[in-house]
Structure 1
Amino acid sequence: MPIIVDREERRAHVVEIAFDLVADQGIEALTFREIAAAAGCSTSIVSHYFRNKNELLFRVYQLANERANARMAAMRDQGLPLLACFDAILPVSPQAQANWRVWLAFWARAHMEPAYLEERRSAAEGALALYRALLAQALGQDADDPALELPARRLLAAVAGIGLEACFAPEDWTAERMHQVLGVVLADLGVHVAG
C-alpha cells in the first residue's frame, strides 16, 4: 500500500526549512540540495513542490510576512497592552529575529522585482490596517476614522526603523531600549503606556 503524503503539509515543511536556512545563511547560500538534506529527502522531492529556487524564495518571503502578522494578531487577541503586542514584530524573540533576517535578505529583491514589491506593499497595507485597529482600540476610537491614518503610518515607520536599527546594532538596541523608544512614540500618539 503506498504511503499517503499530504501535499500541502509537505510543501509547507519545505518552505519552513528554507525559511530557517535563509534566516541563518542568507538567500545565496540556499540550494535545493541543502533544503533536501535538512528535510531528509531527495532534491527531486523539493523540485516536485517548487519549479525553481525563485518560486521557493518568494514563498519564504510570504511566510515571513504571514508569521509576523499571525504573531501580532495573536498577541492582540490575548488582550495584551499595545506596547507588548509589538514584541511580535520587534526583534526581541528568536522568532521575530529570524523574521527580520529574512526580511533583510529580501529587501534588494523587493526593490528590483515586481512580485516582491507587490508582496511588500500588500504586507505593509496589512500591517497598516492592523496598526490602525490597534491604535483605535487603545484610543477608544473607530478604526475607520481617517484621522488614524497618519498615526498608523507613523507607528509603522517607527516599528520598521526600530527593528532595522536593532538588527544592525543589537548590543545597543536591547529589548528594553526598543520598548522605551516605541513607548515614546506611542505616548506621542496619545496611547497610555504603563511604566
Structure 2
Amino acid sequence: MPKIVDHEQKRKLIAESAWHIIEEKGVEHASIRAVAAAAGLSPGALRHYFSTQDELLLFIVDYYLTRGATRAEGLEISRIPMKAAKEILLQLLPMDAEKRTAAGVWWIFAIRSLTSSAVQAKKDELTDGLHYLTKAAIEILSNAELLPSSVDIPFETLRLAAVVEGLTILALLRPEHYTPETVEQIVTRHLQDLCSRATDR
C-alpha cells in the first residue's frame, strides 16, 4: 500500500526542529540542511517545502502564530469588561511554555525583518494583528463606559501595544523577574490606571 504522509505532523516536526536549532545556536544556524538533519529528513525533501532560509522562517512564524490564533479563537471571553480586556491581552504574552516559544519565534523573525526584505511584509501583517487585538481590548472598556469620554483610542492602542511588546521582551529575557504572575499584575494595573481617569475629572 502507498505510504500515507501526514503533512500536518511533518509541519510540526519541521517547525519544532528548526526552533530547537534557533534556540540553541541562533537563527543563522537554521539552514535547510541543518533543519533537515534535525527532523530526520533529506535536504531535498525539505526543499520540497522551502527553497530559502527566509521561506523556512516565514513557515515557523506562521506555524506557531497560527496555533496561537486557533487557541485564541476557542477562548471564551468573560462578560466582565475589565476581565475580558485582560484575557485578550494575556493571549499575546508569554504566559506558558508554548506562548514563550511563539514569542521567541516572533522576535527572531522581527529582528530578521530589519535586514531581509523578503519577510518585511509579513512583519507588518503581524504587527497590525497586535494592534487589532490591543484596540479590541481598549474598545471593550470604552463600550462599557469605563474610560473617559475624551480618551484617544488610537493613541491608547499604540501605548497598550508598546506595553505588551515591552513585557514580552522582558519576560523572555528576565523570566525570573517577569513571571507570568507579575506580567498579569502589570497588565491589570495598566488597565486599572487607564480606567481610573474616568473618575479623575
RMSD of equivalent CA atoms: 2.8
Q: Deviations over 1:37-61 (max 9, x none)?
A: 4433322211111112221122223
User: Where does residue 199 of structure 2 map in the other structure?
Assistant: none
TM-score (norm 1): 0.78
1 CA distance for matches of 2:154 and 2:7? 41
Larger Rg: 2
Find the partner of 2:96 among 85, 93, 97. Answer: 93
Number of equivalenced pairs: 186
Q: Aligned with 2:124: secondary structure?
A: helix
Give % identity.
27
Return closer, same or farther for 1:11/1:177 CA change in 2, 3 Å cut-off.
closer
Return closer, same or farther for 1:109/1:24 CA change in 2, 3 Å cut-off.
same
User: Where does residue 34 of structure 1 map in the other structure?
Assistant: 34
Asked whether the 8 Å contact 2:89–2:133 carries over to 1, the reply is no
Matched, 1:152 2:157: yes
2 CA distance for matches of 1:96 and 1:11? 18
Displacement, 1:89?
A: 2.0
Find the partner of 1:164 among 162, 169, 173. Answer: 169
Q: Structure 1: give runs of 5+ residues left out of the alignment.
A: none
2 CA distance for matches of 1:28 and 1:52? 12
Matched, 1:121 2:119: no
Matched, 1:105 2:108: yes
Return closer, same or farther for 1:101/1:51 CA change in 2, 3 Å cut-off.
same
Matched, 1:133 2:131: no
Amino acid at match of 1:39: A
User: Where does residue 184 of structure 1 map in the other structure?
Assistant: 189
